[in-house]
Each structure stands twice: as C-alpha cells, then as structure tokens.
Chains A and B, each alone.
Chain A
Amino acid sequence: MTKLASPEKKTFGAKFKELASNQIFIPVAALLLLVLFNLIADPGFFKITLGQNSNGDPVLSGYLITILNNASELVILAIGMTLVTAASGGQDISVGANIAIAGSVILRILCGNQGARPETMQAPIIVAFLAACAVSMLFGAFNGTLVAYFKIQPMVATLILFTAGRSIAAWINNNQLPIISDASFGYFGNFIPGIPVPTPVFIAIACVIVIMLVLKFTTLGLLTQSVGINSHSSRLNGIDPAFVKFITYVILGLCVAVAGLIKVSRISSINYSVIAKDIEMDAILAVALGGNALSGGKFNMWGSILGAYVIQFLTTTLYKFNVASDALPAYKAVVVILLVVMSAPVVREKMGKAMKSAASKKTAKEAK
C-alpha cells in the first residue's frame, strides 16, 4: 500500500512547489488566510442580509458586500497601474489627486451656471462623465509625455500632479463644495432602485471584463511587457517603446475617470483634500501583492485585481475588529510587510523547496 501511495505524495510535493511558485499563489493564500481568520474569530462576518433602505428598496448588507463595494475604485485603478508599471517600470503616484480632478469636473458640469447647489442637473450625467474622461486622459497624457518622451522617472514626473492635483480640483469649482441633490446621480456610487447589489461592484466587474477582452483581442499585453523588459530589442522589432509607455498612462487616466465618478457619486459631493486620499499607495500595493515586479516587465492582471480585493478585505477586517482609524495604517503595515515578503520571488522559491523536501521526507518515513 505504501509503495502505491508514495508516487502520489511526491507529485503532491512537486505540485505544491509549482503552486507556491505561481504568481497568483500569494494573493489567493492571503485571501484564504483572511477568510479563515474571520471564520474563527466571528463567523458572523460572512452573514449577508437582505434589508430595505430608507426609500424602501431592497439592499444587501454585510461585510462581504462592503468589501466588494469599497474595493471597486481600487480594482479599477490597479488595472491601469499594472499596465503603467509593466511598460514604464515605475508607478503613477498622482492617481488620488487626479480622481479629485475628475470628480470636480463631473460636479462642475452637472452644476452648470447654477452655483454649487443646483435644483436640477444642468447636463446629462454621461456628458459630465465623458468630459471627466477627456480631462483625466489629458492629465494621463501629461504624465505619459514626461515619462515616455522626456524620460523623467515616473515617480518624479507624477509628483507634479500629486502635488498640484487637489488644488486644480478645487480651482475647477472655485473652491466651493457642490452638492447634487438629484437622486439619480447617486446610483453610480450606491444602489440602483430595485437592484440589491451596490452599483460600483458592477462597474468594477465591467472594467475587469473590458481589460481582459482588450488583453485577449489586442497585443497590448505583449507590447507593454516587451517594452518593460527590453526597450532596445522592442524598438528593433518595430515597436515604438515611447508610445507604448505613453499610452499606458492615458489608459490609467481613463481608469481614474471611472473611479472618480464612483467616488463623487457615493456622496453626491466632493471634499478636495480627502477624496481618494492615499489611494495611489493602495493601488501600487495591489500590483505588488499580485506578485508583479514594480520594476516592470512581465505582469499578471488577475494578480493585481485579486491584490486589490485582498487589501480591501484586510482594511474592512481591521475596521470590524474596532481598530481605531488612526491606528489602522500601522496594523495594515504589519500585514502588508508579511504579504510582500512572502510574495518575493526569493522567498517563494525557498518555500517551494522546503515544502518539497518536507513532502519527500514524509514519504520516505512512510515507506519505512
């Protein structure tokens, strides 16, 4: 019997090694750990209830819904950040500030010339959103130009808008805080009447589907990775490395506009200094957690997307256990250090080896 069992065990060890060295392993493992922790600490964490909101519409509530809901902006940003990282080997730290700009543009157009508290929206929401897309892509193009054509380090190039972005956002609305009272504007950040799942969840899923289709039906993935790994070779193979880098920043700009719409729709207003604060760091972290090298090159989009959900899961878990919001970053940092160290290729390789040898020792013992 033992003889029969041993080859199976060996393949298990080898399989585990393969699994452990897979990029997606760490975010998945982290997610499972968080789930396990919550299951033991309080199974009520996973309870989802169907209730009614103040308007009498059905809404789902529960921590899982909160996680899915609140992670939406991060997921959308992680998509763009992954491409920027892959192609340019650097990150855009201005996305938080750019969300403020995008949100401000949307509100400005909806207010028209009716001041900060219009009775009705002065333009269709789609028009405001498209304008925000254009503006965000323009700012993305600004970052992209600095990085791709002026060859400025991404961190430095995007520091400009990181610093100036929130002032620009305030200036767009003359430093007033517009409030949109029309309920339909709130649909994008909250619930559409009759649908019990928060709208941002659908928007995030739609964005994921779009990027997956783009990666499948275009060569964007091959081009960004090739440029990120070796731009000299890429150029000699007919690729325009500068343009590829440039375009990834523009795509990230589009992601910013979508995230901006959700953000302002959630509260039907804006707070220039608080909106999407520090979200750039979480977005970068999502990319890293997904096992992607921040120095660019090969990437795994699913890794980044999962990474974004893991971060939100962690944040929500900490809130659930009444960690004071001031202390939250410190707790988060501890967990993040663990995750990042574990997802480092060096550690993953060692872990895989250790698991394999442990498995083979076990089979050796059993054979005896």
Chain B
Amino acid sequence: MQDSAVLEMRGICKYFPGVKALQNVDFTLRQGEIHALMGENGAGKSTLIKVLTGVYEKDGGEIFIEGHEGAVSIRSPQDAQNAGISTVYQEITLCPNLTVAENMYIGRTKGALTNWKKMNEGAGKLLEALDIPAVPTQQLGSCSIAVQQMVAIARAVDMDCKVLILDEPTSSLDEQEVEKLFKLMRDLKAKGVGIIFVTHFLDQVYEVCDRITVLRDGQLVGEYIIEDLPRVQLVSKMLGKELDDMASIKNDSDAAAVDLGTPVLEAKGLSSAEGIKPFDFNIHKGEVNGFTGLLGSGRSECVRAIFGADKKTGGEVFMDGEKVKIHKPLDAMKHGIGYLPEDRKQDGIVGDLSVRENIILALQVMKGFFKPFSRAQAEAFADEYIKLLEIKTASSDTPIKQLSGGNQQKVILARWLLTNPKYLILDEPTRGIDVGTKIEIQKLVLKLAGEGKSVTFISSEIDEMLRTCSRLMVMRDRKLVGELSGDDLSQTKIMATIAGGEN
C-alpha cells in the first residue's frame, strides 16, 4: 500500500449472470484528494462503489484500508461504515417516512434507547452548519429531492469517515446547491478525507477534482492527474473512440423543415393542481422545443399537465386544431402523445418486469385488455429496439432493474418510440447518463423531428437545450415568463430570462 493512500483496491472482479461487470480493476484513493471515477453507463462505476461499500460481494480481488492490517473483508454496508467508508448514492436511499433527524442517525445509535432531544439538536446543528434548508423533525419525504440528497450527504459527513463516496450527488441539485456541496467537499478534503466523486458532469470534475480514474466496459482504462488529461481526451478515453464533433449535431436539424401550419398541439390557459399558473403553449410538426428554468420552476409540471398526469384545473388543449379532452395519461396516449418522465426510478421503469415487458407496456395498454401481444411478437419488438438503441442487456428477459441507469432510460425511450407518437415529451432524458448516450439521445431527438414528429425536450443543461431546441419556454416560479427563439437563443439571454433581469 502506498504511504499516502487511504484506500487501495486491487484486481477487483464482479460477475453478474451473463455480464462481467468488473474485471481486474485497480483503484487508489489518497489522503485529502477528490478523485473522480468516470465512465459510460455500464462501465462499472456503480458496481465498483457497491463492492467497496459491501452492497455486492466481490468475486475476486483485495481491498486495503489505512489503519487495517492486510486485506479487509467488507461483506455488508455496516462493515464498510465501520471501516470508515461513507456513501451517498445516486438514488436516494433514505426512508421518506422518517424524519430528517431520524434518517441522519438511523443505524448509528448505541443501545436500545434513543435520546430524541439530543438527536434532534445534533441534527439541527449539522443542518445549520451545512446550510441545508430542512428542519430535523420534518418528514424526509416532504423535502424536495435536492434537500433529501443533501440530508444524505450530511448523514455521511457526520459519520467521521475517512473515505466519502459521492455517487452522482449533483444530478438533482441546482447550481447554487452544487456550489454549496463543492465548498463542503473542499472543507472535507482539507481535513484529510479522501473523496470518491462519481458524476457525469465534466465541468464539475474539472472544477473540483484532483485525479481521475476512467473505467470502460468493466475494465480499468487508467488513472490520471487532472492537469494531464484535457477534456477531449477524457471523453475519448471514456468512449474508447474519438468523440463526434458536438457542434455538428445541430446542423442536421436546420435542414429539417418545421411545418408552420396548424400546431400539432396547442394549449390555451392550461393550469394544473400542482400550482402551475395558466400558460399557453404550442408545438408544430417537426419542431423541437423545450421548457427551461431552475429546478422546481414548474418545467415538469407543465408537460405533466399536457399529458394528463396531474389533475387539470383549467384551460383547453387542441390537437391539429381540434379540441381534445385529456383527463388521464391514456387519453393523451390515444391522441399520439408520449411522455418520458423525469424520475426514472419512481415513474419510469417497472423494476421487476423484464426489459421486453417494459418496452411493450405502453403499446400493450393502448392496444387493449383483450388483445395481448404474442410472446413472439413482443420479443420481436424488444429485439428490434434493443438493437436500434443499442441497449446493453444480457437478454430481453432480464429484469430492467438490473440495467444501468442509461440503459434503463433507453428502454423507456424504446417504450414510447414503439407507440409511434406524433408528439413526444422527454423530461430530463439525459439526467444521470454518460456523455456518449447523451449525444445519442440528442441525435435521436433531432432525427425524430426530421421524420416529422414533434418533440418537447427538458434538460437542466442549457447547452444541451441550445443544441436541440429551436424554441424555448422559460419558467420561473411556476409561471411561463418568456419564449425565446431564433437569435434570442443564447446562453446569456436564457440566463437573463430565468433570473428575471429585464433586457
């Protein structure tokens, strides 16, 4: 073990049925460094983390931790915690029906008795120190996802860890919250904590990290000091090939003609029970537009109102000029609308069902109760889309929950593409997904538009929106505050509109 290292993993292997998730991977974490773990979906980042934290049992290799003689065996998350390894996962793994303080202290109290007052006080202090807007006695489920994420970090930080693992902690945070988190990370680094940072945001890596380890297809590509690895090289190492020129994507879309006749869908004065102020919206054939705004500004709620996912409280919807009634998702689906929801885990996938069943689900529901697809037909559909979208799965029979996040997202995309919608709404389709897949999805969106479909695209990343959308609706405080198109579509103009500064 090297002198300054707090953690060393040597020759780690992990196999799943039909998949070699990790093959002979080495990883070293030094004291007081922030170390980025990078790779595409299915590269093995999450698996490596889960091996380290005892969620999975490794099939080979050794783990050394500072202060422990020889290789340590980590067989459960409790072992990992005892060894000084704390984790904040990509998906929130706390209990929404317990209070904030209970979540922070769960599994850490000694003995059978709990001093509730002391616990709440301790939690309160920590929340204040980290500037987290939550009350200790509040139910965790009543906090926003971002706050829940920060509570999870607070919990990990409070456990006096030597190794802190942050598995995509920023994917649901807005910029200010990310800044807060980075400050926290730098403080911890100064105290000598080693931090493993898993993220898809390249900017964040270059802002805060010291070192990068890149994985690809379950194998180690290499470990680099951040100064030695420019962005383009990092991306090409992750993909294992030279990256397409991102700028070239947009050019294709300019060629695609937008039909400016009657809009495919037009909403007038639409409002929903989720508190969206009445808004007007329209989209034409072959158009890609988008909703933008800060987290919680009401982007998702707008499209949910269009799709009938939330209860409508007013307004009218027209499709191809005719008034339609959309009270529930099935109505929208029958009018040729597809909706890929923001929260993949909660609203998108049906975890225990196979990839095949997940793909045919929406079309099957539309087709009707008495007309199930034959097994052969369903398999043909599934195989077609697994091939088309290059979904990495052992087979179409694999439960979708065993796939990596990006591949799950592709399955949901496949589900809606299979219904051949006129109008497709994609709410954060690229969240928590690697660069390669992101570009694939962006290209797909533009290709669909080229085929005469209409797409509404929502993303937290403005450059992504700029690359794909020809018109942007800007939301602020649950209200539509602006519509930008043509020359107005620039980073600065969008920022100004979001922030509310006039001109």
Contact = CB atoms under 8 A, between A and B. Distances in A.
Given A238-B366, A239-B365, A219 B372 contact: yes
A230 B370 contact: no
A232 B346 contact: yes
B347 A219 contact: no
B287 interface: no
B347 A232 contact: yes
Interface stretch (A68-76, A102-110, A220-228): A220-228
Interface residues of B, number: 28
B364 A219 contact: yes
B357 A222 contact: yes
B350 A235 contact: no
A221 B361 CA distance: 12
Shortest 8 CB-CB contacts between residues of A and residues of B: A238-B330, A238-B365, A237-B362, A219-B372, A232-B347, A230-B350, A238-B333, A229-B352
Contacts of B371: 219
Given A226-B350, A229-B353, A230-B350, A236 B365 contact: no
24 contacts: A219-B364, A219-B369, A219-B372, A220-B369, A222-B361, A223-B365, A223-B369, A225-B353, A226-B350, A230-B350, A230-B351, A232-B347, A233-B348, A233-B349, A234-B350, A235-B329, A236-B307, A236-B309, A236-B341, A236-B347, A237-B361, A237-B365, A238-B362, A238-B365
A14 B339 CA distance: 42
A150 interface: no
Given A233-B349, A239-B365, 8 more contacts: A222-B372, A232-B347, A235-B309, A235-B328, A238-B329, A238-B333, A238-B365, A240-B328
A233 B329 contact: no
Contacts, number: 74
Nearest to A219: B372
Interface in A231-279: 232-240
Interface in A278-292: none
Given A217-B372, A222-B357, A232-B347, A237 B329 contact: yes
A217 B309 contact: no
A162 to B, nearest CB: 27
Interface residues of A, number: 22
A298 interface: yes
Contacts of A322: none
Contacts of A216: 372
A218 interface: yes
Nearest to A220: B369
Contacts of A239: 330, 365
A80 interface: no
Interface in B135-175: none
A216 B339 CA distance: 29
Nearest to B357: A222
Interface of B: 307, 309, 328-330, 333, 339, 341, 346-353, 357, 361-362, 364-366, 368-372, 415
A18 to B, nearest CB: 10
A200 interface: no
A218 B365 contact: no
A216 B357 CA distance: 15
A233 B333 contact: no
B17 to A, nearest CB: 10
Contacts of A240: 328, 330
B191 to A, nearest CB: 39
Nearest to A298: B352
B289 to A, nearest CB: 21
Interface in A297-316: 297-298
B352 A297 contact: yes
Given A236-B309, A238-B362, A226 B353 contact: yes
Contacts of A217: 370, 372
A298 B333 contact: no
Contacts of B372: 216-219, 222
A220 B361 CA distance: 12
Contacts of A234: 350
A237 B362 CA distance: 5
Contacts of A236: 307, 309, 329, 339, 341, 347-348
A222 B351 contact: no
A170 to B, nearest CB: 39
A218 B370 CA distance: 4
Contacts of B307: 236
Nearest to A21: B17
A240 B333 CA distance: 13
A77 to B, nearest CB: 24
A226 to B, nearest CB: 5
Nearest to B347: A232
Nearest to A235: B329
Nearest to B368: A219
A298 B362 contact: no
A17 B234 CA distance: 42
Interface string A52-91: 0000000000000000000000000000000000000000
Contacts of B347: 232-233, 236
A240 B353 CA distance: 18
Q: Which of B328, B330, B346, B350 has the most CB of A within 10 A?
A: B350
Contacts of A220: 369
Contacts of A219: 364-365, 368-369, 371-372
A210 to B, nearest CB: 15
A220 B368 CA distance: 10
Contacts of B330: 238-240
B351 A229 contact: yes
A240 B328 CA distance: 9
